Amino acid sequence: MDAAINAIYAIPVLGLVAQFVGYLIATIPPVAPIILRQSTPLALGAMCGVICERSGVVNIGIEGTMLASAFTGWIVGVAVAPLLPAAATPLFGITLPLLVALAAAILVALAISFLHAWLSIALRADQIISGTIINIAAAGVTGYLNTLIAKQSPTSGGSFTQFNPPAELTNLPGVGWLFAMFFDQGPITMSVIILVIGLQIWLFRSRWGLRARAAGEHPKAAETVGIDVMRLRYRNVMIGGLFAGLAGAYLSMEATNSFQQNMTAGRGFIALAAMIVGRWTPIGAFGAALLFASFQALGQAINFAPPSGQLGDIMTAVPAQFYDALPYIVTIVVLAGVVGRSIAPAADGQPYERESAT
Amino acid sequence: MTAEAPAAGGSRIGALARRFWSLVALPLVSFVLAIIVGAIIILASEMLVPGQKFDPTLPITAYKALIVGAFGNESAVVATLVATTPLLFGGLSVALGFKAGLFNIGAQGQFLIGALASVFVGVIVSTQPPLIAIPLAVLAGIIGGAIWGFIPGILKAVTGAHEVVTTIMLNYVAIGTVAALVSGPLKIPTSVSPVTFDVGNAAFPIIIGKTGHIGIVLALLFVALLWWLLYRTTWGFEIRAVGANSSAARYAGMRPRVITALTMTACGALAGLAGVSVLLGVTHSMSSAFGTTVGFDSISVALLARSDPVAIIFTALLFGAMRSGSGLMQIQASIPAELVDVLQGTILLFLVMGPVLRLIFRLRSASTDIGGARTSIGGAPAGPAGAP
């Protein structure tokens, strides 16, 4: 068997492809949990985008909202950890301070989303500019406060831990890695799949979802059948903020237990790309987020443990920064390839103005 | 307007003054409010630092240091001008995009690639006479930036991929490219830290004080050039027409896709020049920690100037002064330099709240919506907006 594989690997060009496939097959099982983890902030951000844009509000402030939530989650954790009992439950290492911090992170995201909703719905400001201002302000305020606070090297409030599935399950031959992928995870990552499916049903199988989509496709028609378009858009932007807040909390309270300046690193924008590639559906966007996360994880895998042999020589000859940039390049390529067939909600980004009845 | 016009003679100057006031009132009020909010943030954040005596005058100390740091003496003024130069180019880049209905968030990446191309060629020609070396290095930077603008431009024109997402992604690709080249092929072989060779004779000549390089003159020339291009040429008219209403422009026989691709390329070239001005004028070589805030400051510059090339001179000076003075503020008042970002964000926030501010402060309304044109993701241009 090994001899046969080695023979295939020796074929010029085709052998390289075979080596790459072999590398992928060997790499994916151990990397799979990492892929799901890294897709979490992207998927949650994309859900925020889907909810907002389906009802007609463009939100490019996801990046800033995530950043502000990540900071708030961390700083509130730091502040309340000494004040509250910190006995960790065996499940996910949940402590009271962590729950308070999570609530604070989501509250901040809701507040920022409300601001965006107010600017773009009530004031009919340009939604892209409103989102950009949120990004600039969030980066400024978190950077300013972080520099002030980091001088005192505060003790972190901790982070959520992973659920450890029993080893009998993860060691199962063939499918064990799938169990590890879905269950060797923290609470926010685990909830993503449920949230995505729930949102898909909510958006396409419920009355609320139908109304939300109507407001995004043809707000005037929606208004004539008695839907309050303004209120609905406010509500959807706020629900979207909840998801962005969760994404931010993931970064500073599950993936790490600290905050770094600009730690979102463009994830809010990759999330937007995932939303477009996924054709504004929750499940499609989740798939796209998984794709982008796979390239992130693949890049890291190649940097840490490059394949051996001819393929490895080629891969290690490429600068490490190329693999860091890989997810961004893939985003551009996929977006350019798919976007023509991906159609935005018709009234996306357009301020709605009620015909003056008063 | 007519109802408010005074009956008395000499109203021409009065009308001009009113028109001027209607244009600057909102940005000015936003600025003042942002300063107040900044002071509140400084006071509030004093309580975050334990063991420090509460000092109610700290905001005044901080703002004083900011102003002295920016304009206090001759070298401070020169430093402010040097900090303003890339913001002029960057602001023009973003503003040109707005005029065509494009949002160029990618100024940061174009800035980096412009500087990278400039240092690449600059090092090669570093021993040539300046009259040959400088134009070649500048040209390389323009081309580098233009390529980085052309990619999202052509993608938008051909496939419809939205430039907001593609330019942001290209920013990260640019950061990776710079890091890879500066720590790889372009690195001084004997150096431990990732830094390139000096550009030697390709460096900009110093014309004011000790550090004031010729880039500021070049930038002002480009302000005039862009104004002329936008308001006095057919191409400029087409750019503004596409930005105002792309379908109408198409019915009028223009080609919005071509305009989009070309404009985005020009945006890239301008942002590339911003990189050139920092590289050839200030650093003369490139390290992996090369200029990090210019791209996003440029967006603020263009928004506050409402994409008007002449107004950009003032907004770029404002933000350049803030960046330049923030160092002294950090030393004298121990306020993190990031306060400048907070102020920027707050100014823009108040600016976009325009309708509310006008109501509160009874400002005369003028066409002061920020951004030259509405930009929307994947959708048609916005419907008719009501009068505020």
Angle at the Cα of A243 from the Cα atoms of A349 and A271, rounded to 5 degrees: 60
Mutate to test the interface with A, among B169, B346, B350, B367 (most CBs of A within 10 A): B169
The alpha carbons of chain A give a radius of gyration, in whole angstroms, of 22
Read off the pTM.
0.87
Give B3 or A9, the one with higher predicted confidence. A9
Among A193-207, A228-242, A306-320, B196-210, which stretch is predicted with the lowest mean pLDDT? A306-320
* B49 occurs within a structural domain: no
CB neighbour burial string for A338-354, b if at least 16 within 10 angstroms, e if fewer: bbeebebbebbbbbbee
* B102 occurs within a structural domain: yes
Question: In whole angstroms, what is the distance from residue B321 CA to residue A307 CA?
Answer: 51
Question: In whole angstroms, what is the distance from residue A143 CA to residue B274 CA?
Answer: 24
* A347 occurs within a structural domain: no
How much is the pLDDT for A28? 79
Mean pLDDT estimate for chain B:
86
Of the candidates B108, B169, B164, the one whose C-alpha atom is nearest the C-alpha of residue B298 is: B108
A-chain CB neighbours of B338 within 8 Å are 140, 143-144, 147
How much is the pLDDT for B372? 38
Question: In whole angstroms, what is the distance from residue B201 CA to residue A84 CA?
Answer: 64
On the question of pLDDT at A161 being above 50, the answer is yes
How much is the pLDDT for B219? 95
* A272 occurs within a structural domain: no
CA distance B93 to chain A (A): 16
On the question of pLDDT at A353 being above 70, the answer is yes
CB neighbour burial string for B193-210, b if at least 16 within 10 angstroms, e if fewer: ebbbbbbbbbbbeeeeee
Among A281-295, A310-324, B332-346, which stretch is predicted with the lowest mean pLDDT? A310-324
Question: Any CB–CB contact under 8 A between A274 and chain B?
Answer: no
Q: What is the domain range of residue A96?
A: 39-264
Sign of the torsion formed by the C-alpha atoms of B79, B81, B82 and B83: positive
Q: What is the domain range of residue B242?
A: 87-312
Q: What's the pLDDT band for B50 if we cut at 50, 70, 90?
A: low
* B371 occurs within a structural domain: no
C-beta separation of B260 from B249 below 8 A: no
Taking one residue from A and the other from B, the number of pairs with CB-CB distance under 8 angstroms is 190
* B171 occurs within a structural domain: yes
Give A157 or A339, the one with higher predicted confidence. A157
How much is the pLDDT for A339? 64
Closest partner residue to A140 (CB to CB) among B180, B183, B338 is: B338
B-chain CB neighbours of A329 within 8 Å are 169, 173
Q: What's the pLDDT band for A181 if we cut at 50, 70, 90?
A: confident
Contacting residues for B95 by C-beta, under 8 A, at least 6 apart: B226, B302, B305, B307, B308, B309, B312, B372
Question: Any CB–CB contact under 8 A between A183 and chain B?
Answer: no
Of the candidates B93, B164, B102, the one whose C-alpha atom is nearest the C-alpha of residue B312 is: B93
Task: Give A116-146 pLDDT, tens digit per residue.
Answer: 999 999 888 888 889 989 999 999 999 999 9
What stretch of H or E contains A44? helix A14-54
Contacting residues for B233 by C-beta, under 8 A, at least 6 apart: none
Question: Any CB–CB contact under 8 A between A339 and chain B?
Answer: yes
Supply the ipTM of this predicted assembly: 0.84
Q: Give Cα A220 distance to the centre of its chain.
A: 32
The DSSP bridge partners found for residue B196 are B187
Task: Give A74-92 pLDDT, tens digit per residue.
Answer: 999 888 888 877 776 777 7
Give B189 or B114, the one with higher predicted confidence. B114
Closest partner residue to A348 (CB to CB) among B164, B173, B378 is: B378
On the question of pLDDT at B56 being above 70, the answer is yes
Where on the phi/psi map is residue A93: left (φ > 0), alpha (ψ -120 to 50), or beta? left
Strands B212-213 and B206-208: antiparallel
Q: Which residue of A has its CA nearest to B340?
A: A140
On the question of pLDDT at B75 being above 50, the answer is yes
* A248 occurs within a structural domain: yes
Q: Which residue of B has its CA nearest to A280?
A: B378
* A202 occurs within a structural domain: yes
Q: Which residue of B has its CA nearest to A356?
A: B386
Q: What are phi and psi of B115, to 5 degrees?
A: -65, -40
Asked if B356's CB is within 8 angstroms of A129's CB, the reply is no
Mark which residues 197-256 of A lie under 8 Å from B by CB. Answer: none
Asked if B378's CB is within 8 angstroms of A349's CB, the reply is yes
Asked if A128's CB is within 8 angstroms of B375's CB, the reply is yes
A-chain CB neighbours of B371 within 8 Å are 126, 129
On the question of pLDDT at B378 being above 80, the answer is no
CA distance A112 to chain B (A): 12
* B361 occurs within a structural domain: no
Among A185-199, B50-64, B95-109, B243-257, which stretch is predicted with the lowest mean pLDDT? B50-64
Of the candidates A44, A27, A8, A35, the one whose C-alpha atom is nearest the C-alpha of residue A295 is: A35
Task: Give B274-329 pLDDT, tens digit per residue.
Answer: 999 999 999 999 988 787 788 889 999 999 898 899 999 999 999 999 999 998 99
Arithmetic mean of pLDDT, B97-109: 92
The tally of domains found in chain A comes to 1
DSSP, collapsed to helix, strand or coil, labels residue A128 as: helix
Mutate to test the interface with A, among B103, B178, B341, B368 (most CBs of A within 10 A): B341
On the question of pLDDT at B239 being above 70, the answer is yes
* A212 occurs within a structural domain: yes
Question: Any CB–CB contact under 8 A between A335 and chain B?
Answer: yes
Amino acid letter, residue B304: L
A-chain CB neighbours of B159 within 8 Å are 336-337, 339-340
Asked if A331's CB is within 8 angstroms of B165's CB, the reply is yes
Among A76-85, A110-119, B105-114, which stretch is predicted with the lowest mean pLDDT? A76-85
CA distance B134 to chain A (A): 30
On the question of pLDDT at A250 being above 60, the answer is yes
By percentage, how much of chain A surpasses pLDDT 90? 39
C-beta separation of B156 from B166 below 8 A: yes
How much is the pLDDT for B77? 94
Give A32 or A11, the one with higher predicted confidence. A32
* A136 occurs within a structural domain: yes
* A308 occurs within a structural domain: no
Question: Any CB–CB contact under 8 A between A260 and chain B?
Answer: no
Could you tell me the two tokens for A167? 């080893």
Q: What's the pLDDT band for B387 if we cut at 50, 70, 90?
A: very low
How much is the pLDDT for B368? 44
* B202 occurs within a structural domain: yes
The DSSP bridge partners found for residue B208 are B212
Q: What are phi and psi of A106, to 5 degrees?
A: -70, -35
* A330 occurs within a structural domain: no
Arithmetic mean of pLDDT, B364-371: 50
The tally of domains found in chain B comes to 1
Closest partner residue to A336 (CB to CB) among B155, B164, B345 is: B155
Task: Give B130-175 pLDDT, tens digit per residue.
Answer: 999 999 999 999 999 999 999 999 999 988 888 888 998 899 899 9
On the question of pLDDT at B383 being above 60, the answer is no
- Tokens 């790309």 identify what position? A273
Arithmetic mean of pLDDT, B197-222: 92
